[in-house]
A = this chain, B = another copy of it.
Protein backbone atom coordinates (compact mmCIF):
# COMPACT_ATOMS: atom_id res chain seq x y z
CA UNK A 1 0.00 0.00 0.00
CA UNK A 2 3.06 2.15 0.40
CA UNK A 3 3.57 3.86 -2.92
CA UNK A 4 7.29 3.95 -2.61
CA UNK A 5 7.86 0.41 -1.40
CA UNK A 6 8.07 -2.84 -3.32
CA UNK A 7 8.10 -6.46 -2.21
CA UNK A 8 6.65 -8.39 0.68
CA UNK A 9 9.09 -10.50 2.69
CA UNK A 10 12.07 -8.86 0.99
CA UNK A 11 10.90 -5.29 0.71
CA UNK A 12 12.51 -1.98 -0.13
CA UNK A 13 11.41 1.64 0.13
CA UNK A 14 13.08 4.44 -1.81
CA UNK A 15 13.11 8.15 -1.06
CA UNK A 16 14.68 11.29 -2.51
CA UNK A 17 14.40 13.78 -5.31
CA UNK A 18 16.66 14.58 -8.22
CA UNK A 19 17.75 17.85 -6.66
CA UNK A 20 17.42 17.14 -2.95
CA UNK A 21 20.44 16.67 -0.74
CA UNK A 22 20.42 12.89 -1.01
CA UNK A 23 18.41 9.86 -2.00
CA UNK A 24 18.26 6.38 -0.60
CA UNK A 25 16.61 3.08 0.02
CA UNK A 26 15.64 1.12 3.12
CA UNK A 27 15.86 -2.62 2.51
CA UNK A 28 13.73 -4.54 5.00
CA UNK A 29 13.58 -8.29 5.38
CA UNK A 30 17.06 -9.14 4.19
CA UNK A 31 18.00 -12.47 5.79
CA UNK A 32 20.67 -12.30 8.50
CA UNK A 33 24.30 -13.37 8.22
CA UNK A 34 25.04 -12.31 4.64
CA UNK A 35 28.42 -10.58 4.18
CA UNK A 36 27.71 -7.02 3.01
CA UNK A 37 29.74 -3.86 2.59
CA UNK A 38 29.59 -0.82 0.35
CA UNK A 39 31.96 -2.63 -2.02
CA UNK A 40 29.21 -5.14 -2.82
CA UNK A 41 26.92 -2.36 -3.98
CA UNK A 42 29.16 0.25 -5.58
CA UNK A 43 29.97 -1.63 -8.83
CA UNK A 44 26.29 -1.80 -9.73
CA UNK A 45 25.87 1.90 -9.08
CA UNK A 46 28.93 2.59 -11.20
CA UNK A 47 27.36 0.70 -14.10
CA UNK A 48 24.27 2.91 -13.90
CA UNK A 49 26.16 6.13 -13.10
CA UNK A 50 25.54 9.17 -15.33
CA UNK A 51 28.28 11.03 -17.11
CA UNK A 52 30.41 8.01 -17.99
CA UNK A 53 30.10 8.42 -21.77
CA UNK A 54 28.81 11.05 -24.15
CA UNK A 55 25.74 8.85 -24.72
CA UNK A 56 24.29 9.55 -21.29
CA UNK A 57 23.40 12.68 -19.36
CA UNK A 58 26.39 14.86 -18.52
CA UNK A 59 25.39 15.26 -14.91
CA UNK A 60 28.41 14.18 -12.84
CA UNK A 61 27.49 12.15 -9.81
CA UNK A 62 29.91 9.91 -7.92
CA UNK A 63 26.92 7.95 -6.60
CA UNK A 64 28.90 6.79 -3.59
CA UNK A 65 26.69 4.64 -1.37
CA UNK A 66 26.78 4.55 2.43
CA UNK A 67 25.31 1.78 4.55
CA UNK A 68 23.79 3.44 7.62
CA UNK A 69 22.25 0.46 9.40
CA UNK A 70 21.52 -3.25 9.34
CA UNK A 71 25.10 -4.49 9.11
CA UNK A 72 27.27 -5.51 12.06
CA UNK A 73 30.73 -7.01 11.93
CA UNK A 74 30.42 -7.08 8.13
CA UNK A 75 27.26 -9.15 8.04
CA UNK A 76 23.56 -8.37 7.67
CA UNK A 77 21.65 -8.65 10.96
CA UNK A 78 18.12 -9.13 9.63
CA UNK A 79 17.21 -5.53 10.50
CA UNK A 80 16.60 -2.72 7.99
CA UNK A 81 19.53 -1.78 5.77
CA UNK A 82 19.52 1.96 5.17
CA UNK A 83 21.41 3.00 2.04
CA UNK A 84 22.16 6.65 1.24
CA UNK A 85 23.60 8.34 -1.83
CA UNK A 86 24.32 12.04 -1.73
CA UNK A 87 23.44 14.28 -4.64
CA UNK A 88 26.45 16.31 -5.66
CA UNK A 89 25.84 17.85 -9.07
CA UNK A 90 22.40 19.45 -8.86
CA UNK A 91 22.19 22.53 -11.05
CA UNK A 92 18.74 23.69 -10.19
CA UNK A 93 18.95 26.74 -12.39
CA UNK A 94 18.71 24.53 -15.46
CA UNK A 95 15.14 23.79 -14.54
CA UNK A 96 13.66 27.21 -13.94
CA UNK A 97 11.68 26.98 -17.18
CA UNK A 98 10.04 23.75 -16.08
CA UNK A 99 8.32 25.62 -13.29
CA UNK A 100 6.44 27.65 -15.84
CA UNK A 101 5.52 25.04 -18.47
CA UNK A 102 4.57 21.38 -18.32
CA UNK A 103 6.97 19.27 -20.36
CA UNK A 104 4.74 17.04 -22.52
CA UNK A 105 5.34 13.35 -21.86
CA UNK A 106 6.89 14.10 -18.48
CA UNK A 107 5.12 13.70 -15.17
CA UNK A 108 4.89 17.48 -14.69
CA UNK A 109 1.21 17.91 -15.47
CA UNK A 110 0.11 14.64 -13.86
CA UNK A 111 1.88 15.45 -10.58
CA UNK A 112 0.30 18.87 -10.45
CA UNK A 113 -3.09 17.36 -11.25
CA UNK A 114 -2.70 14.90 -8.40
CA UNK A 115 -0.88 16.88 -5.73
CA UNK A 116 -1.63 20.49 -6.72
CA UNK A 117 2.07 20.99 -6.33
CA UNK A 118 5.42 19.49 -7.35
CA UNK A 119 9.15 19.71 -6.94
CA UNK A 120 9.98 20.81 -10.46
CA UNK A 121 13.75 20.66 -10.03
CA UNK A 122 15.01 17.97 -12.38
CA UNK A 123 11.71 16.13 -12.36
CA UNK A 124 11.76 15.84 -8.58
CA UNK A 125 10.71 12.40 -7.47
CA UNK A 126 9.81 11.30 -11.01
CA UNK A 127 13.40 11.72 -12.17
CA UNK A 128 15.31 8.69 -13.41
CA UNK A 129 17.76 9.62 -10.68
CA UNK A 130 15.52 7.68 -8.27
CA UNK A 131 16.65 4.50 -9.97
CA UNK A 132 20.06 4.81 -8.27
CA UNK A 133 18.31 3.80 -5.04
CA UNK A 134 16.79 0.77 -6.77
CA UNK A 135 20.16 -0.31 -8.11
CA UNK A 136 21.64 -0.08 -4.61
CA UNK A 137 18.78 -2.14 -3.18
CA UNK A 138 19.11 -4.59 -6.06
CA UNK A 139 22.73 -5.23 -5.17
CA UNK A 140 21.59 -6.39 -1.74
CA UNK A 141 18.91 -8.56 -3.36
CA UNK A 142 21.54 -10.35 -5.44
CA UNK A 143 23.18 -11.58 -2.24
CA UNK A 144 19.93 -13.30 -1.32
CA UNK A 145 19.79 -15.26 -4.59
CA UNK A 146 23.34 -16.47 -5.25
CA UNK A 147 21.91 -19.34 -7.30
CA UNK A 148 20.60 -16.89 -9.92
CA UNK A 149 22.63 -15.08 -12.61
CA UNK A 150 20.88 -12.05 -14.09
CA UNK A 151 22.00 -10.48 -17.36
CA UNK A 152 20.31 -7.62 -19.20
CA UNK A 153 21.25 -5.89 -22.43
CA UNK A 154 19.91 -3.42 -24.97
CA UNK A 155 18.20 -5.24 -27.82
CA UNK A 156 17.29 -2.31 -30.01
CA UNK A 157 17.58 1.47 -30.09
CA UNK A 158 15.18 3.57 -32.12
CA UNK A 159 14.03 0.43 -33.91
CA UNK A 160 17.54 -0.71 -34.91
CA UNK A 161 17.86 -4.19 -33.40
CA UNK A 162 20.77 -6.48 -32.72
CA UNK A 163 21.31 -9.59 -34.86
CA UNK A 164 20.37 -12.49 -32.57
CA UNK A 165 22.91 -14.66 -34.38
CA UNK A 166 25.66 -12.22 -33.36
CA UNK A 167 24.73 -12.32 -29.64
CA UNK A 168 27.92 -12.42 -27.55
CA UNK A 169 27.40 -11.99 -23.82
CA UNK A 170 31.00 -10.90 -23.27
CA UNK A 171 30.44 -7.98 -25.64
CA UNK A 172 27.87 -6.38 -23.32
CA UNK A 173 30.47 -4.83 -21.04
CA UNK A 174 32.72 -3.63 -23.85
CA UNK A 175 30.62 -0.81 -25.24
CA UNK A 176 28.67 2.09 -23.72
CA UNK A 177 25.34 0.61 -24.87
CA UNK A 178 25.24 -2.71 -23.00
CA UNK A 179 25.01 -4.16 -26.52
CA UNK A 180 25.79 -7.86 -27.06
CA UNK A 181 26.37 -7.38 -30.82
CA UNK A 182 29.54 -5.49 -31.73
CA UNK A 183 28.24 -4.47 -35.14
CA UNK A 184 25.05 -3.05 -33.69
CA UNK A 185 27.06 -1.18 -31.07
CA UNK A 186 29.03 0.48 -33.82
CA UNK A 187 25.84 1.52 -35.63
CA UNK A 188 24.29 2.81 -32.41
CA UNK A 189 27.26 5.09 -31.82
CA UNK A 190 26.31 7.11 -34.87
CA UNK A 191 22.60 6.77 -34.18
CA UNK A 192 22.73 8.03 -30.61
CA UNK A 193 25.31 10.68 -31.45
CA UNK A 194 22.95 11.98 -34.09
CA UNK A 195 20.05 12.16 -31.68
CA UNK A 196 22.21 13.78 -29.02
CA UNK A 197 23.52 16.48 -31.36
CA UNK A 198 20.03 17.15 -32.69
CA UNK A 199 18.66 17.50 -29.18
CA UNK A 200 16.42 14.55 -29.94
CA UNK A 201 15.96 11.25 -28.13
CA UNK A 202 15.42 7.56 -28.92
CA UNK A 203 13.45 4.69 -27.45
CA UNK A 204 14.98 1.31 -26.71
CA UNK A 205 14.15 -2.26 -25.84
CA UNK A 206 16.00 -3.91 -22.96
CA UNK A 207 16.04 -7.70 -22.66
CA UNK A 208 16.84 -9.65 -19.52
CA UNK A 209 17.53 -13.26 -18.68
CA UNK A 210 17.73 -14.81 -15.19
CA UNK A 211 19.39 -18.21 -15.15
CA UNK A 212 19.32 -20.56 -12.21
CA UNK A 213 15.83 -19.76 -10.94
CA UNK A 214 14.66 -23.08 -9.52
CA UNK A 215 11.24 -24.48 -10.41
CA UNK A 216 8.52 -23.44 -7.97
CA UNK A 217 9.01 -19.71 -7.31
CA UNK A 218 5.97 -17.51 -7.80
CA UNK A 219 2.38 -18.11 -6.86
CA UNK A 220 -1.13 -18.12 -8.29
CA UNK A 221 -2.92 -15.88 -9.10
CA UNK A 222 -2.34 -12.23 -8.34
CA UNK A 223 1.23 -12.87 -7.21
CA UNK A 224 2.24 -14.66 -10.38
CA UNK A 225 5.93 -14.35 -11.04
CA UNK A 226 5.12 -12.77 -14.40
CA UNK A 227 2.73 -10.30 -12.76
CA UNK A 228 5.37 -9.22 -10.24
CA UNK A 229 8.02 -8.86 -12.95
CA UNK A 230 5.59 -6.84 -15.06
CA UNK A 231 4.79 -4.57 -12.14
CA UNK A 232 8.47 -4.15 -11.32
CA UNK A 233 9.45 -3.35 -14.90
CA UNK A 234 6.54 -1.01 -15.47
CA UNK A 235 7.49 0.93 -12.34
CA UNK A 236 10.72 2.05 -14.03
CA UNK A 237 10.63 5.52 -15.53
CA UNK A 238 9.81 5.64 -19.28
CA UNK A 239 8.80 1.98 -19.49
CA UNK A 240 5.60 1.37 -21.48
CA UNK A 241 5.66 -2.34 -22.28
CA UNK A 242 6.67 -5.69 -20.82
CA UNK A 243 6.84 -9.14 -22.33
CA UNK A 244 7.53 -12.45 -20.61
CA UNK A 245 9.08 -15.04 -22.92
CA UNK A 246 7.74 -14.57 -26.45
CA UNK A 247 5.22 -12.00 -25.28
CA UNK A 248 3.27 -10.41 -28.12
CA UNK A 249 4.87 -12.72 -30.66
CA UNK A 250 3.13 -15.65 -28.96
CA UNK A 251 -0.22 -14.01 -29.67
CA UNK A 252 0.40 -14.61 -33.38
CA UNK A 253 1.28 -18.30 -32.99
CA UNK A 254 -0.68 -21.54 -32.95
CA UNK A 255 -0.57 -23.84 -29.95
CA UNK A 256 1.73 -26.21 -31.82
CA UNK A 257 4.25 -23.47 -32.65
CA UNK A 258 4.16 -22.13 -29.10
CA UNK A 259 4.64 -25.47 -27.32
CA UNK A 260 7.48 -26.02 -24.85
CA UNK A 261 7.85 -29.81 -24.94
CA UNK A 262 9.60 -31.63 -22.10
CA UNK A 263 11.83 -34.66 -21.89
CA UNK A 264 13.29 -36.39 -18.86
CA UNK A 265 16.50 -34.59 -17.90
CA UNK A 266 18.95 -34.49 -15.07
CA UNK A 267 17.48 -33.04 -11.89
CA UNK A 268 14.24 -32.12 -13.62
CA UNK A 269 12.75 -31.97 -17.08
CA UNK A 270 14.73 -30.93 -20.13
CA UNK A 271 12.71 -28.37 -22.06
CA UNK A 272 12.90 -28.30 -25.86
CA UNK A 273 11.81 -24.67 -26.11
CA UNK A 274 11.14 -21.68 -23.88
CA UNK A 275 8.33 -19.66 -25.44
CA UNK A 276 6.86 -19.17 -21.97
CA UNK A 277 9.94 -17.40 -20.62
CA UNK A 278 10.45 -19.88 -17.82
CA UNK A 279 7.09 -19.28 -16.17
CA UNK A 280 3.92 -21.41 -16.37
CA UNK A 281 0.79 -20.61 -14.39
CA UNK A 282 2.74 -17.83 -12.69
CA UNK A 283 5.34 -20.24 -11.29
CA UNK A 284 8.92 -20.75 -12.47
CA UNK A 285 9.66 -23.94 -14.38
CA UNK A 286 13.41 -24.05 -13.87
CA UNK A 287 14.11 -22.68 -17.35
CA UNK A 288 15.74 -19.26 -17.74
CA UNK A 289 13.28 -16.49 -16.91
CA UNK A 290 13.25 -14.08 -19.85
CA UNK A 291 11.61 -10.72 -20.32
CA UNK A 292 11.71 -7.70 -22.61
CA UNK A 293 11.04 -4.13 -21.56
CA UNK A 294 10.12 -1.18 -23.81
CA UNK A 295 11.53 2.24 -22.93
CA UNK A 296 9.98 5.21 -24.67
CA UNK A 297 12.30 7.99 -25.89
CA UNK A 298 12.82 10.53 -23.14
CA UNK A 299 10.39 13.39 -23.60
CA UNK A 300 13.12 16.00 -23.09
CA UNK A 301 13.90 17.28 -26.59
CA UNK A 302 15.22 20.49 -28.04
CA UNK A 303 12.43 20.85 -30.59
CA UNK A 304 9.82 23.19 -29.13
CA UNK A 305 6.58 21.37 -28.33
CA UNK A 306 3.18 22.93 -27.74
CA UNK A 307 2.18 22.84 -24.10
CA UNK A 308 0.48 24.68 -21.27
CA UNK A 309 1.66 26.06 -17.95
CA UNK A 310 0.34 25.72 -14.41
CA UNK A 311 -2.07 28.56 -15.02
CA UNK A 312 -3.45 26.88 -18.12
CA UNK A 313 -1.86 29.32 -20.56
CA UNK A 314 -0.60 28.17 -23.97
CA UNK A 315 3.17 28.10 -24.45
CA UNK A 316 5.90 25.95 -25.94
CA UNK A 317 8.85 24.27 -24.31
CA UNK A 318 12.24 23.08 -25.54
CA UNK A 319 14.13 21.15 -22.90
CA UNK A 320 17.74 22.26 -22.63
CA UNK A 321 18.87 20.52 -19.45
CA UNK A 322 21.27 17.58 -19.22
CA UNK A 323 19.40 14.50 -20.35
CA UNK A 324 19.97 11.00 -21.59
CA UNK A 325 19.44 10.92 -25.35
CA UNK A 326 18.34 7.29 -24.87
CA UNK A 327 17.24 6.58 -21.31
CA UNK A 328 16.86 2.89 -22.12
CA UNK A 329 20.65 2.46 -22.11
CA UNK A 330 21.03 3.27 -18.46
CA UNK A 331 17.87 1.24 -17.89
CA UNK A 332 19.89 -1.95 -18.21
CA UNK A 333 21.26 -2.01 -14.63
CA UNK A 334 17.87 -0.88 -13.38
CA UNK A 335 16.05 -3.77 -15.07
CA UNK A 336 18.62 -6.17 -13.63
CA UNK A 337 18.11 -4.67 -10.18
CA UNK A 338 14.33 -4.92 -10.34
CA UNK A 339 14.51 -8.54 -11.50
CA UNK A 340 16.86 -9.32 -8.59
CA UNK A 341 14.51 -7.59 -6.17
CA UNK A 342 11.49 -9.56 -7.41
CA UNK A 343 13.34 -12.87 -7.29
CA UNK A 344 14.76 -12.31 -3.80
CA UNK A 345 11.26 -11.61 -2.52
CA UNK A 346 9.84 -14.63 -4.35
CA UNK A 347 12.52 -16.89 -2.92
CA UNK A 348 11.73 -15.87 0.64
CA UNK A 349 7.98 -16.11 0.05
CA UNK A 350 8.30 -19.55 -1.49
CA UNK A 351 10.38 -20.68 1.46
CA UNK A 352 7.76 -19.41 3.85
CA UNK A 353 4.78 -20.80 1.98
CA UNK A 354 6.00 -24.25 1.20
CA UNK A 355 8.85 -24.79 3.66
Contact = CB atoms under 8 A, between A and B. Distances in A.
A14 interface: yes
Given A110-B281, A301-B256, A13 B16 contact: no
Interface string A205-238: 1000000000111111111101111111111010
A352 B9 contact: yes
Given A3-B223, A258-B105, A82 B15 contact: yes
A255 B224 contact: no
Contact of A240 (B158, B218, B243): B243
A220 B251 contact: no
B116 A253 contact: no
A237 B220 CA distance: 10
Q: How many copies does the complex hold?
A: 4
A312 B301 CA distance: 57
Interface in A73-125: 75, 77-82, 102, 104-111, 113-119, 121, 124-125
B159 A78 contact: no
Interface residues of A, number: 153
A305 interface: yes
A205 B227 CA distance: 17
A275 interface: yes
Given A75-B117, A106-B280, A107-B281, 14 more contacts: A1-B11, A2-B28, A3-B222, A78-B354, A79-B220, A102-B262, A203-B250, A203-B254, A227-B230, A240-B250, A241-B244, A262-B308, A349-B352, A352-B353
